[in-house]
């Protein structure tokens, strides 16, 4: 492809992302899958520019408005990016937007006027508001400032960077050093991660799909922070474990591997198709201690039937995803799922329901990929106020039990941030159910039929017990 043709592909791709109610990475994957004639180098160049523009959404929009243009269309964003980030001059831009074969159409008068106003500027400007400079959307600003305090600026700036490529070794098939050697055979450079004893950080963005170490299940793609959440579950061989919101199965895989293929892991989710896709990952990893169980909702009757049966219950709750903005920059601006006002009661309901599965002495692990206090500490505190039979198990104690080295955080919870830990933003709380309970400590949901209801027969049995 010519440079001009690549620009047109970027414009087309950004248009599809704007118009398709799916995450940008999924839209991008479909875009290239339907255009197999685009070579690998061209795909890389187009994808890199598209992501670079998505990461500068607010700043480009601010400049476009300042340039007097009507709205930040994909064409306008590409033009502004060329001028402000790549420092192209107006003459070069005009040549690229020539209207020739495969090239973008010629500039309109309004676009020409905007180019004239933006030429010779850079992306930064002293008049640019902080929230624009750090790409913080209006809906998240107050909550992010409240959660991050005086670290708001430094954490938000770190979220502007592209996330590194992390792998998790499969301890059933490899260790860190043997996996590094296997990757080296494919000319892939990797080094051990700082915090996770199972992690590798890869240099660059090599295509892993054709690499033997990946195809043979020696390694899986998983952010180091996500690996640490799985370590916080601290599963033991022979345990009975539930991954209550398994999704694509990344943490399920990690937990099952830590159990050395012994015991049972039940991967649950309300999206049956995601569980079916995850099954291929389970097979590739050589794990046979995982079973998938779709749920109709967080209050599925299966939960009541398996009350107090499991040693570990992981709740990787649906959340705002603010901790993943490095790898999902479009998520800042496009609400493709429930908003925060819907997520908070949903998280509380999921946590309450999943708690019923935990046996006395077992643990409930609540996790999110959010950096917001309301979705993290506040949810745990509210849960503990109504579930007096659970207590917090500090992260340091879990790490000591697992002999995992120095814990990555101080305090009771696992709270990871991009600037402090160079991981995605994650939160996890380990909550242990007391081995000796009294009925007065039990929550209504533990003996209830459905949320807000109590079966008097069941309640009477509990009291008699």
Rg (CA), the chain: 25
Residue 457 pLDDT: 30
369 a catalytic residue: yes
Binding site listing: 269, 316
Residue 436 pLDDT: 67
pTM value surpassing 0.95: no
Q: CA torsion 232→238→239→244, rounded to 10°?
A: 90
Which phi and psi angles does 408 have, rounded to 5°? -75, -10
Low-confidence ranges of the chain (pLDDT < 50): 438-465
Residue 461 pLDDT: 32
Q: What is the 3 state secondary structure string of 97-130?
A: CCCCCCCCCCCCHHHHHHHHHHCCCCCCCCCCCH
pLDDT tens for each residue of 55-80: 999 999 999 999 999 889 999 999 99
Domains of the chain: 3-128 (no CATH), 161-221 (3.30.70.1170), 224-433 (3.40.50.150)
Closest C-alpha among 343, 249, 252 to residue 298: 343
Catalytic residue among 136, 245, 268, 369: 369
- List the beta bridge partners of residue 269: 294
Residue 431 pLDDT: 98
Residue 309 pLDDT: 96
| CA atoms of 233 and 371, how far apart (whole Å) | 20
Residue 444 pLDDT: 40
Binding site listing for S-adenosyl-L-methionine: 269, 316
Cα four-point dihedral sign 403, 166, 211, 26 = positive
Residue 441 pLDDT: 43
Asked if residues 325 and 331 have their Cβ atoms less than 8 Å apart, the reply is yes
């Amino acid at each position: 492809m010519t440079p001009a043709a690549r620009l047109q592909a970027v414009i087309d791709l950004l248009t599809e992302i704007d118009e398709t109610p799916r995450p940008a990475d999924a839209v991008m994957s479909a875009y290239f899958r339907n255009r197999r004639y685009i070579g690998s180098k061209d795909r890389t160049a187009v994808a890199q520019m598209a992501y670079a523009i998505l990461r500068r959404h607010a700043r480009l929009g601010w400049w476009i408005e300042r340039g007097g243009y009507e709205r930040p269309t994909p064409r306008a964003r590409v033009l502004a990016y060329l001028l402000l980030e790549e420092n192209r001059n107006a003459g070069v831009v005009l040549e690229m937007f020539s209207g020739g074969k495969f090239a973008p159409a010629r500039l309109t008068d309004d676009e020409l006027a905007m180019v004239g106003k933006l030429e010779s500027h850079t992306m930064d400007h002293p008049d640019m508001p902080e929230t624009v400079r750090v790409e913080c959307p209006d809906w998240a600003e107050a909550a992010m400032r409240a959660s991050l305090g005086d670290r708001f600026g430094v954490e938000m700036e770190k979220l502007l960077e592209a996330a590194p490529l992390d792998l998790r070794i499969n301890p059933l098939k490899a260790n860190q050093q043997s996996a590094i050697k296997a990757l080296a055979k494919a000319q892939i450079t990797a080094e051990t991660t700082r915090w996770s004893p199972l992690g590798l950080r890869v240099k660059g963005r090599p295509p892993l799909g054709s690499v033997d170490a990946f195809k043979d299940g020696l390694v899986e793609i998983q952010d180091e922070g996500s690996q640490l959440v799985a370590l916080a579950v601290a599963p033991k061989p022979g345990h009975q474990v539930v991954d209550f919101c398994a999704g694509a199965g990344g943490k399920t895989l990690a937990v099952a591997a830590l159990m050395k293929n012994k015991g049972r892991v039940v991967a649950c989710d309300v999206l049956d198709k995601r569980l079916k896709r995850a099954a291929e990952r389970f097979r590739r990893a050589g794990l046979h201690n995982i079973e998938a169980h779709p749920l109709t909702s967080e209050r599925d009757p299966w939960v009541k039937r398996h009350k107090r049966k499991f040693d570990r219950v992981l709740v990787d709750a649906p959340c705002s995803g603010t901790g993943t903005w490095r790898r999902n920059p479009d998520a800042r601006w496009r609400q493709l799922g429930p908003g925060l006002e819907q997520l908070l009661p949903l998280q509380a309901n999921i946590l309450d329901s999943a708690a019923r599965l935990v046996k006395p002495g077992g643990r409930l692990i609540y996790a999110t990929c959010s950096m917001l206090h309301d979705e993290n500490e506040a949810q745990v505190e509210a849960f503990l106020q109504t579930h007096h039979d659970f207590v917090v198990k500090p992260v340091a104690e879990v790490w000591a039990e697992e002999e995992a080295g120095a814990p990555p955080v101080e305090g009771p919870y696992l709270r990871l941030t991009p600037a402090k830990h160079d991981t995605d933003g994650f939160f996890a709380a380990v909550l242990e159910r007391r081995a000796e309970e009294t009925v007065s400590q039990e929550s209504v949901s533990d003996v209830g039929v459905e949320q807000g209801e109590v079966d008097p027969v069941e309640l009477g049995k509990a009291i008699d017990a």
